[in-house]
Chain A
Amino acid sequence: MTTRLSAQDVTLGYGDRVVSTRLSLDVPDGAFTAVVGPNGCGKSTLLRALVRLLKPAEGAITLDSRSVSDLPAKGLARELAFLPQDPLAPEGITVHQLVSRGRYPHQSLLALWTPEDERAVAEAMVTAEVEDLADRPVAELSGGQRQRVWVAMVLAQDTPYLLLDEPTSFLDITHQYRLLALLSRLRDEGRTVIAVLHDINQACRFADHLVAMKDGRVAAEGAAADVVDAALIKDVFDLPSVIVADPVSGTPMVVPE
């Protein structure tokens, strides 16, 4: 397993409030990593630190052994794409416009909009199944449609890394599975996917690498089949449960008692 992106002994927090202390994580390249854990345990905080939205108080986030804080902003944005938990679209913006914003890191004062940008935007809209909505105002879409539009924006960024904070929230069950299948497909094409997921069974089914967090630390990580057992679920979620094999995928399935 190789790793380009990793957190090394980072202490993360907001002002005086410390969320994680000396947390280390190696994100496996070309794999689908799912981060799970109870509300408030620091999942979003970790993702925000990985994409340099939050500066670690101690330790460093590194990409190819270089601290991400030393990388140029647009250069980093061509490596890491991030979808926050609750993005808010500006008034009046249409789907096509919003998705086009994903091309921002690929543009410069001299290189304005190119056919390559247009192609990436069109492809991202098809992949996220929003091409029929292209000229609709984002404000007039349903929550699930909106979520897929934001996913399309992140895809248009065309980066080797995709970090998504709860991408399946607001989606109906069909679209949840379609999005997860899409992320698996992108992984198969060579991208590295890191997603915060709340449905542990979905995480077990789709992720190659599971990171279970509790109180700001990594409680367990590895392949779902290796790490998920009743003791872990009790420890992390404080939930008594029985673990059975998922009848479809054979991966662990948590059934609360």
Chain B
Amino acid sequence: MTSAPPASPPTARTARPAILVVGLLALFAAGVASVAVGARAVPLGELWGALADFDPLNGDHLVVRDIRLPRTLLGIAVGAALAVGGALIQTLSRNPLAEPGILGVTHGAGFALTVGAALGLAGSAVSQLGLGVAGSVLATALVYAVGRHSTLRLLLAGVAFSAVLMGVSLGIRLTSPDTLDKYRFWAVGSLAGREQTDLTVPLVAIGAALVGALVIARSLNAIALGETVAHTLGANVARVRTATLVLITVLAGAATAVAGPILFVGLIVPHLLRRLTSGSVPWLVGLSAVVGPILMLVADTIARVLLHTGEVPVAIVTAFLGGPVLIWVVRRYGAGSL
């Protein structure tokens, strides 16, 4: 023990609303930038015009309405889904390395897409979406059936089952170059081109699950103290755990289905916020829903302008942005902050 004064500001409790306001402003700025910036830069005046006074003959307006705006909305939804999914799984498992795909969602979706592509079913964007969702849900259901009695068993089942699925899909892809090609497009994780599909269902699912996450966050406050203490505080541990798993599956499954595996966002955002939220799960979930989209939009905007020849997949940019930040957090606060 050193005699150093407390490291965290004594005002942590009162600072949280201010952080939320700053976060919302930053999200707004990131949103504007993500609509304005791209292969064709849109002046801010035209941007406003596209929203307030749409002119179907104006090229800038068309870009904003048909491509940029849907993509920005998609980025917000995917970023929020992944970050909140990460906050939920890390809280539930009390494991800082858990990410929302750990329960089989990612590799379930990847497996379904691989099999679908091998059978010639993964032609359209809609069928890819369907395959991704079906794979996620089936994989998580199996993991849940094996491990539902304890959170640790769930994680072990998820990791083991993911490894099997990954192995089998890899085998299929290696023997079928055509399948590999289709899979590759999905597996890099990107928002590009995905905005053209009808995304109503995944977006509504994400929205509903985000609301659910905020509702269940207070019960997770009790679960976060460990199952023993949660029981003695009167929390229904089994029910909260099941509901949380369903939410994580919906969030990660929908995000993965529309944007591919970009799960790094779900690992890093809750870390960045853990200290600021001083252990309150409702605040962690709420702020994750704001900061996740910021990271996603910034990364996606950078992805669009980084190369003149085309786009860098956003998953690569989030990893490049997030990796150093994670290392900084560990160095600044020590591994204890993880």
Contacts and interface: CB of A to CB of B under 8 A. Distances in A.
Contact of A92 (B1, B221, B222, B274): B274
Given A101-B225, A136-B8, A90 B91 contact: yes
B92 to A, nearest CB: 11
B290 to A, nearest CB: 18
Interface stretch (B122-130, B134-142, B233-241): B233-241
B221 A140 contact: no
Contacts of A52: 231
Interface stretch (A11-19, A75-83, A122-130): A75-83
Nearest to A105: B234
A97 B279 contact: yes
Interface residues of B, number: 35
Given A87-B229, A92-B274, A135-B6, A104 B235 contact: yes
Given A74-B234, A157-B233, A98 B228 contact: no
B151 interface: no
Given A93-B278, A93-B279, A94-B8, A87 B234 contact: no
A78 B235 CA distance: 12
Contact of A101 (B1, B91, B233, B275): B233
Contacts of A110: none
Interface in A184-207: none
A101 B226 CA distance: 12
Given A90-B225, A92-B277, A135 B10 contact: yes
Interface string A55-79: 0000000000000000011111110
Q: Which one of B7, B225, B236, B338 has the greatest number of beta carbons of chain A within 10 Å?
A: B225
A76 B234 contact: yes
A96 interface: yes
Contact of B222 (A51, A82, A104): A104
B336 A139 contact: yes
A81 B232 CA distance: 7
A98 B6 contact: no
Nearest to A98: B279
A48 B221 CA distance: 22
A80 B234 CA distance: 10
B224 interface: yes
A249 interface: no
Contacts of B91: 90
Interface in B286-338: 336-338
A53 B234 contact: no
B337 A92 contact: yes
A88 B8 contact: no
Contacts of A97: 278-280
Interface residues of A, number: 39
Interface string B256-286: 0000000000000000001101111000000
Given A87-B226, A104-B221, A135-B12, A94 B232 contact: no
Nearest to A107: B218
Contacts of B338: 91
Given A89-B225, A91-B338, A104-B222, A77 B232 contact: yes
B13 interface: yes
Contact of B337 (A53, A74, A91): A91
Contacts of A82: 232
A142 B115 CA distance: 54
A171 to B, nearest CB: 15
B96 interface: yes
A28 interface: no
A133 to B, nearest CB: 8
Nearest to A104: B233
B232 A51 contact: yes
A84 interface: yes
B6 A77 contact: no
A138 B235 CA distance: 22
Interface string B1-22: 1000011111111000000000
A102 interface: yes
A88 B222 contact: no
A94 B6 CA distance: 11
B186 to A, nearest CB: 34
B94 interface: yes
A73 B219 CA distance: 13
Interface string B205-236: 00000000000001001101110110111111
Q: Which one of A81, A136, A142 has the greatest number of beta carbons of chain B within 10 Å?
A: A136
- Give the top 3 A-B pairs by smallest Cβ distance, nearest first: A93-B279, A77-B234, A74-B234
Interface of B: 1, 6-13, 91, 94, 96, 218, 221-222, 224-226, 228-229, 231-236, 274-275, 277-280, 336-338
Given A105-B234, A135-B278, 19 more contacts: A53-B231, A73-B231, A84-B232, A89-B225, A90-B225, A90-B279, A91-B279, A91-B337, A94-B13, A97-B280, A98-B225, A98-B279, A101-B229, A135-B8, A135-B12, A136-B6, A136-B8, A140-B6, A140-B336
